[in-house]
Amino acid sequence: MQFDDVAFMREHDSAWRLLRADNAPLVLSFLHKVFVEGNARSVPAAELISRLDDELYALKERLGERAYPKSAREYLNDWAKPEVGWLRKYYPTGTDEAHFDAMPAVEKALSWVRSLRARAFVGTESRLNTLFELLRQIAYGAEEDPDIRLAELYRRRQEIDTEIAKVEQGNVPVLDPSALRDRYQQFAATARELLADFREVEANLRALDRELRERIAAWDGSKGELLDEVLGNRDAIAESDQGRSFQAFYDFLLSPQRQSELSDLLDKVQQLEAISERDPRMRRIHHDWLDAGEQTQATVRVLSDQLRRFLDDQAWLENRRAMDLLHSIESTALELRDHGPPRLTFEIDGVAPSIALPMERPLYTPTANTPIDSSVVVGDDDIDADAMFEQVYVDRAALARDVRRALQHRSQVGLPEIVRDNPLENGLAELVGYLSLDDDAFGVVFDEEIREQVSWYDSDGCERVATLPRVTYVRSAGGGEHG
């Protein structure tokens, strides 16, 4: 870390700016109470203004009327300014009321302030054990030699067998109170950090979405290259280290067995007498993780829908421009059809002397006479442009209803079964519509390892067959028929 880097962060980092602010105690305490303790991800403006107004009233009763002269609305608008970056002010889909959410800078500032508190007990044993376990996972997880992997597994089995033998003999080793407090302290800190990381994940996704929109708006290449660029970046979200780690974490929490195990373990730990300073939030921290994960997944869906609509709008504008150009060409051609082409001549003086040596002259080569038909055939004045407007419309909502209907009594269904029960009426366009469905009630899984064939009959009665990866529709938790 260099001097210039630190100086730049001091001037431009939102978390550092928050710690330097005169009203930092108000900002940190209020936003911690609303967004961190309450695990709120989206608070309506009216509710947040009311709560801040109550907070300001209580502070003025203690500190005097001059303590915080601005109104609650003014403070919130100041904190949500782009150059401040402590709150995000936005309008959710389907509502005209502003909502607020805390930015990652607030979580970072709160974490730093929380670390300043003096701790009566600072545990190190559990962190050392965690470091050793992580090193083992890294070292043996990357090991390709089966003999070394087997030796490690045998060693672990020997440790387990030894512990089982001790318990069978009545020797049950338990952790002392210091070790319990040490591990609980590390668990609570890691759990809070994990919950705070979700806001940073959402902020990264929004930043990537803004970057894509700016790239689309300024794109001057072909549409095919643009789509390759956009889809490549969209895939990069899921394929990045952050995306894969988040998806693995979310899949882990969605397991009913894991949720039940987490609930039992948290209840048991919270009842231990050795842990005197219990954090009440830890009892339902796994539910907070799920809520934050669902909010992040919803953010991805909303950003994808908005980007798709943005691309559709861009395509409509491009098509409109193309139609205007075609109409202009037709009008100009009709105006000039009775006039001959203009005679365009251009003369230029020689810019260099020409040198022709006698021995460079080639022998005479007779030229072949090619007959040329220069007669002009006048075309029809009426130009039928109807074909340019004929498009195949695929009702994606109807396709989604077909899939939800098929998933009413089972958890998953393949694309061939859907097509068999609902024959394709619009051919390949309808098949592509099935592949691009995006619905909250189900997910689409592509298996590139297995190929399937889907057949249909076109308007002429000819059978068409498409070979594609296996496509399976999987019902989401709580999904079903929505009409």
How many C-beta atoms surround the C-beta of residue 467 within 10 A? 8
The pLDDT value recorded for residue 306 is 66
Q: Distance between CA atoms of 29 and 453, rounded to whole angstroms?
A: 60
Q: 157 is written with which tokens?
A: 């089995």
Percent of the chain, pLDDT > 70? 80
The pLDDT value recorded for residue 58 is 92
The pLDDT value recorded for residue 482 is 45
| Contact in structure between 423 and 456 (CB atoms under 8 Å) | yes
Tell me the β-bridge partners of 444: 473
Give the residue ranges of DSSP H helices in 271-367.
285-336
Residue among 145, 45, 58, 63 at smallest CA distance from 100 = 45
Q: How confident is the model at residue 483 (pLDDT cuts 50, 70, 90)?
A: very low
**Residue carrying the six token digits 């980007």:** 307
Span 25-48, pLDDT tens digits: 999 999 999 988 887 888 999 999
Q: 396 is written with which tokens?
A: 């994606």
The pLDDT value recorded for residue 380 is 58
The answer to pTM > 0.85 is no
CA distances from 179 to 67, 107, 115, 171 (A): 45, 29, 21, 19
| Contact in structure between 88 and 42 (CB atoms under 8 Å) | no
The pLDDT value recorded for residue 57 is 92
CA distances from 229 to 58, 306, 317, 474 (A): 53, 17, 20, 29
Q: Pairing relation of β-strands 99-102 and 412-414? A: unpaired
Beta strands in 433-483 (DSSP E): 442-457, 463-475
Q: Residue range 52-67: average pLDDT?
A: 90
State the chain's mean pLDDT as an integer. Answer: 80
**Burial readout 223-234 (b: 16 or more C-beta within 10 A, e: otherwise):** eeebeeebeeeb
Residue 445 DSSP code: E
How many C-beta atoms surround the C-beta of residue 378 within 10 A? 7
**Residue carrying the six token digits 């002429």:** 460
Per-position DSSP letters for 144-179, written without gaps between them: --HHHHHHHHHHHHHHHHHHHHHHHTT------HHH
Q: How confident is the model at residue 410 (pLDDT cuts 50, 70, 90)?
A: confident
The pLDDT value recorded for residue 256 is 79
Q: Distance between CA atoms of 53 and 276, rounded to whole angstroms?
A: 35
